[in-house]
Amino acid sequence: MENLIEIQNVYKTYQLGKVDSQALNDVSLKVGKGEILIILGPSGSGKTTLLNVISGLDKISKGKILYEGKNIAKYRDYKMTRFRKKNLGFIFQTYNLLEHLNVYENVLVGSSLGNVSTDVDTIIDTVGLTKHKKKYMYQLSGGEQQRVSIARALAKKPSVMFCDEPTGALDEKTGKVVLESLVEANEKLGTTMIIVTHNPGIALIGDRVVRMNSGKIVEIKENKKRMAPKEIPWG
């Protein structure tokens, strides 16, 4: 598998008063183009910090973050903002949707952020919301709204989708539907997925699982076969 991202000896230190807190400690990792990578760990393990520095939402203290060989850790803020807009998509626990727009219009907003034309109807169909595309957010369940946020992020055709606890606020049935949308997007569109979670069951849908603890990678495990979201144990 061709590498899309390479993280080399990355450190992230926060200063809390007079005390330094090491959120990431000499982390190195490669991410293959088109893979689903799961970053797994308990609260405080550094998994969200790792996602934030890979995606350029936060700056590293030391090391390199290479996208197709280019060290984005050296980018100035304006260049990083342009890079994120062109190449990256984001899914969080909060949906951040526009309440006055319907499903189609929210996804169309995402499409307008990209540099390539997008078939909005195809994206909406990929996440299973075709019959809801004229509905407004108050008419949708939490899981359906999360799938709208996935479609909106996919509509600008990102190279990488970053998902920070995308099912954290959802029940098992709804969470698995959301995960199915992510897997579908990966398989149909080839989007690289980096998913942060504390739920070990979700690790089974990935190609590889990165386990973190105390700011370090403690294990990288390859799944011989990805498990369908509907089959995974929950919690």
pLDDT digits (tens, 9 = 90+) for 35-60: 999 999 999 999 999 999 999 999 99
Q: Rounded CA gap, 225 and 227, in Å?
A: 6
Q: Rounded CA gap, 78 and 87, in Å?
A: 14
| Topology (CATH) of 34-59+86-231 | Rossmann fold (3.40.50)
Residues of the chain with pLDDT under 70: 114-116
Distance between the two ends of the chain, CA-based, in angstroms?
Answer: 30
- pLDDT tens track for 81-120: 999 988 999 998 888 899 999 999 999 998 887 666 778 9
Q: Which of 4, 6, 51, 52 is nearest to 29 (CA)?
A: 6
Beta bridge partners of 21: 14
Residue showing tokens 């893979």: 35
Going 68 to 72 to 76 to 77, the CA torsion angle's sign is positive
**Both tokens of residue 109?**
């907003």
